[in-house]
Chain A
Amino acid sequence: MRAVRVSVVTAATAAVALACATGCTAKSDADSGNAIKVTAADSSCDTSAKQAPAGQVTLSIDNKGSKSTEVEILFPDDRIVSEKENIGPGTHYTLTAEIKPGSYEIACRPGMKGHGVRQKFTVTGGAGSAKRDPQADGAVAAYREYAQDQADQTLPKVKVFTDAIKRGDLEAAKKAYAPSRIGWERTEPVAESFGDIDPKVDTRADGLESGQKWTGWHRLEKALWQDKKIGPAEKALAGQLVTDLTDWQQRVGKAVISPTSMANGAKELLDEVATGKVTGEEDRYSHTDLVDFKANVEGAQKAYELLKPVAAKHDAALTKELDKQFASLNELLDGYRTGAPGSYAYKSYDKVGESDRKQLSDSVNALAEPLSKLAATVVAS
């Protein structure tokens, strides 16, 4: 990739919004005269105005309730523009955010949980203010659907895996291991955003903290391939895996997603490949790394394809390069497929030699480098 930059036009647009891209907060003691008063209570959330001009929007928040509350400005798809948590009973807080024209909601969450009480809120376009890109909003909504769909499709595949373990069927369990991970691997950045699920289901032996009980896929992988036995402990762990992944399935729809986090997530998936899969560290007992590898690439490509119309407006050269590099990496991976086209049967990674691994690594670098520039092209959206 030839050191692509955001075009000057975009850079200039971005520059205007650079200090606060889509929402950064500043605490100021001096409420500005045109601040919107938000009065939060245990079951209400009153706002002194239903609209404000684009630019700096200030909320002057008073918590009149008996519980701590959280106040958020939200996009229609629940993305957070700006938020303040832990506003104690009887306290006051000023929230300031840089907001573009469009429809929003102001939400108070008494007790800091649940859907909260919400008010519609419109930000009107001032002269020269950029409109939020509905294409980007569409991309986020579609990606949220994708993430949910992947979780929904994963659970039955996980059950095939865990049922085989519960039956004590070693061979069937080995066969079902890699397919049960595909949906998770495709959407890993979203899954990881919850923080508490990933350590339970996808930790490798070297990732354990002192005193941490090893649970999840890789613990079972070791039992199946290295210890070659299924005991009561493994059966219990199989049940635990289903529980933890059901938790993921129920929460994935509520993940905080933005165009920027989608783009960064795509890049993170390639980072996963570069640091875990290419080295063979991820599936060190089963050597099914290439299945995870392919799933990571697919997830990155999904996020990219959804953002592509937005990115192409700002940097067509970048999307052209990304198209090329995705195609080239996929073509390289196709060479390792041992099953029918479209299947997820790949060559065992312990049979992939050093020079082939380097070729895969080079190809990952060739894609990840331009992919790291995607976020900046969608940030103005």
Chain B
Amino acid sequence: MTEHVAASDGEQGAGAAHPGRDETAGTGPGSGSGSGSGAPSRRSLLGWGGAGLALGAAAAGGAAAAVTSGDSGGRGSSEAAAVAFHGTHQAGVSTPVQDRLHFAAFDVKTDDREEFVQLLKDWTAAAARMTGGRTVGHGAAGLPEAPPDDTGEAVGLKPSRLTLTLGFGPSLFERFGLKDRRPEALVDLPKFPGDNLDPARSGGDLCVQACADDPQVAVHAIRNLARIGFGTVAIRWSQLGFGKTSSTTPGAQTPRNLMGFKDGTRNIASDETKRLDEHVWVGAKDGTDWMAGGSYLVARRIRMNIETWDRTSLQEQEDVFGRDKREGAPVGKPKEHDEPFLPAMKPTAHVRLAHPDSNNGATILRRGYSFTDGTDGLGRLEAGLFFLAYQRDVRKGFITVQRHLARQDALNEYIQHVGSAVFAIPPGVRDAGDWWGSTLFGNAGN
């Protein structure tokens, strides 16, 4: 798979050729492995100047990997493939969940609307390149006296199904004269009983969710967006996550959370178009034109009291969740995917309280990740669930469910919500001429 190495060589089509570099052969400087092995150059694949398209497919000495669409099920897609960046909806919502997360919340540092819009455009260009497995700007090499545009640690790595998903926080609408454009469905979350929120890990004017099968690819993406953003935006907080806790891929093994339980069995799958339209994607008639095709994201950093949980009897653990630990089957049923019979569960069981039937049908798409940030000062594992949920309306989705859980969930003894944020996820970037947030900031999206 040397092709990617070639593809991630920065665009040199602007006339800034590297002197002393063979223009026809091989790979660029600093391009890791594969140089000099007779790999076709990116130019011979794409022609001079390079097509501005994400190219995740292998053309040299490997099977062609399918580019899966960002908003349709790409089941069976290989880990190396690229997820299409452009589409009706942003990738990273219904996309089959990748293994790794780097989630970053940003604050805006400028009052200049034009400057902020330019950042969105620059970010879009960088995101389109990175999700295609390519470097940002002019690549990881260039003039010896200047720092390279791209930080370089993803050179030679595959696209790894990287998705980058952008969101706007409520506080953004206090700026740039956007007060009237704030969607009604983007409410400030109420304080729930038991919340112990750290302001330094909450809120944000903007967010970018980077998901990939390779942690270095996800971190590289956030790092380079942050760098492009210096002066315009600044990172407020960020969270690394691993071991997807929710499955959006039907039939796939449901992953386990750090409590050892399968989590997300009844989640909305990426190919359930009807359920997605009903519960996740904002409709054209929902009241906020610019949000049509978008969604709303709630992020909660949920710390688990791991040590006390691990001292809890198996019976109590299973009672708390309402499923058995080994199979993940709901109480009284033999198989994980059997329909739960709620009355069989304890009234305080997590699954029972969170179930749509207990919440007027409220259904959210969960996309959370486990986190372990070492240990705290008391030697306890600093670990838990970084909960991410997408929905069509925060009031009918997360708030409805969480009001219920915060009051009664037996799990509350073992968890604490320590970080919280909510974001409007605008619709997808339609094509190479479009950019993130154009429906909000642009003139009819141009």
**A-B contact list, 11 entries, CB within 8 Å:** A3-B228, A5-B138, A12-B16, A260-B145, A362-B234, A365-B231, A369-B227, A372-B147, A375-B146, A376-B143, A376-B146
**Chain B residues with Cβ under 8 A from A3's Cβ?**
122, 136-137, 149, 228
Give Cα A12 to B18, complex, Å: 9
The A308-339 residues at the B interface (CB cut-off 8 A) are 321, 325
Q: B16, B109, B118: which contacts A366 (Cβ < 8 A)?
A: B109
CB pair A365 B19 closer than 8 Å: no
In the complex, per-residue mask of B314-346: 1 if CB is within 8 Å of any chain A CB, else 0: 000000000000000000000000000000000
CB pair A18 B14 closer than 8 Å: no
CB pair B119 A2 closer than 8 Å: yes
Is A373 at the interface (CB under 8 A from chain B)?
yes
Taking the closest CB of chain A, its distance from the CB of B148, in whole angstroms, is 10
Taking the closest CB of chain A, its distance from the CB of B80, in whole angstroms, is 27
Is A340 at the interface (CB under 8 A from chain B)?
no
Is A15 at the interface (CB under 8 A from chain B)?
yes
Taking the closest CB of chain B, its distance from the CB of A76, in whole angstroms, is 22
What number of A-B contacts does a CB cutoff of 8 Å give?
Answer: 71
Chain A residues at the B interface, C-beta cutoff of 8 Å: 1-3, 5-6, 8, 11-12, 14-16, 18-19, 21, 260, 321, 325, 354, 358, 362, 365-370, 372-373, 375-376, 379
Is B192 at the interface (CB under 8 A from chain A)?
no
CB pair A2 B122 closer than 8 Å: yes
Give Cα A56 to B18, complex, Å: 19
Give Cα A372 to B136, complex, Å: 17
Q: Quick one: closest A residue to B143, CB to CB?
A: A376
CB pair A19 B20 closer than 8 Å: yes
The interface residues of chain A, by DSSP majority, are classed as helix
CB pair A5 B137 closer than 8 Å: yes
CB pair A325 B149 closer than 8 Å: no
Taking the closest CB of chain B, its distance from the CB of A155, in whole angstroms, is 34
Is B17 at the interface (CB under 8 A from chain A)?
yes
Shortest 8 CB-CB contacts between residues of A and residues of B:
A366-B231, A376-B146, A11-B16, A362-B234, A369-B230, A375-B145, A379-B145, A376-B145
Give Cα A370 to B230, complex, Å: 9
Q: Quick one: closest B residue to A373, CB to CB?
A: B146
How many chain B residues sit at the interface, stated as a range, is: 20 to 34
Taking the closest CB of chain A, its distance from the CB of B4, in whole angstroms, is 22
**Chain A residues with Cβ under 8 A from B18's Cβ?**
15, 18
Is B251 at the interface (CB under 8 A from chain A)?
no
CB pair A12 B230 closer than 8 Å: no
In the complex, per-residue mask of B227-270: 1 if CB is within 8 Å of any chain A CB, else 0: 11011101000000000000000000000000000000000000
**Chain A residues with Cβ under 8 A from B19's Cβ?**
15-16, 18-19
Give Cα A170 to B14, complex, Å: 63
CB pair B145 A5 closer than 8 Å: no
Is B374 at the interface (CB under 8 A from chain A)?
no
Taking the closest CB of chain B, its distance from the CB of A213, in whole angstroms, is 35
Is B144 at the interface (CB under 8 A from chain A)?
yes
The B135-177 residues at the A interface (CB cut-off 8 A) are 136-138, 143-147, 149
**Chain B residues with Cβ under 8 A from A19's Cβ?**
19-20
**Chain B residues with Cβ under 8 A from A365's Cβ?**
230-231, 234
Give Cα A77 to B227, complex, Å: 37
- Given A15-B19, A18-B144, A365-B230, 17 further pairs, Cβ under 8 A: A1-B230, A3-B149, A8-B15, A8-B16, A15-B18, A18-B143, A19-B19, A21-B145, A354-B200, A365-B234, A366-B109, A367-B231, A370-B231, A373-B146, A375-B145, A375-B146, A376-B145
Give Cα A367 to B146, complex, Å: 15
Give Cα A379 to B17, complex, Å: 17
Taking the closest CB of chain B, its distance from the CB of A143, in whole angstroms, is 17
**Chain B residues with Cβ under 8 A from A260's Cβ?**
145
**Chain A residues with Cβ under 8 A from B147's Cβ?**
372-373
**Chain A residues with Cβ under 8 A from B118's Cβ?**
2
Q: Quick one: closest B residue to A355, CB to CB?
A: B200
Q: Quick one: closest A residue to B17, CB to CB?
A: A15
Q: B109, B143, B234: which contacts A6 (Cβ < 8 A)?
A: B143
CB pair A362 B109 closer than 8 Å: yes
Q: Quick one: closest A residue to B149, CB to CB?
A: A3
Taking the closest CB of chain A, its distance from the CB of B230, in whole angstroms, is 4
**Chain A residues with Cβ under 8 A from B14's Cβ?**
8, 11
Q: Quick one: closest B residue to A375, CB to CB?
A: B145
**Chain B residues with Cβ under 8 A from A369's Cβ?**
227, 230-231
Taking the closest CB of chain A, its distance from the CB of B54, in whole angstroms, is 19
* Interface hub of B138, B145, B146 (most chain A Cβ within 10 A): B145
Taking the closest CB of chain B, its distance from the CB of A131, in whole angstroms, is 19
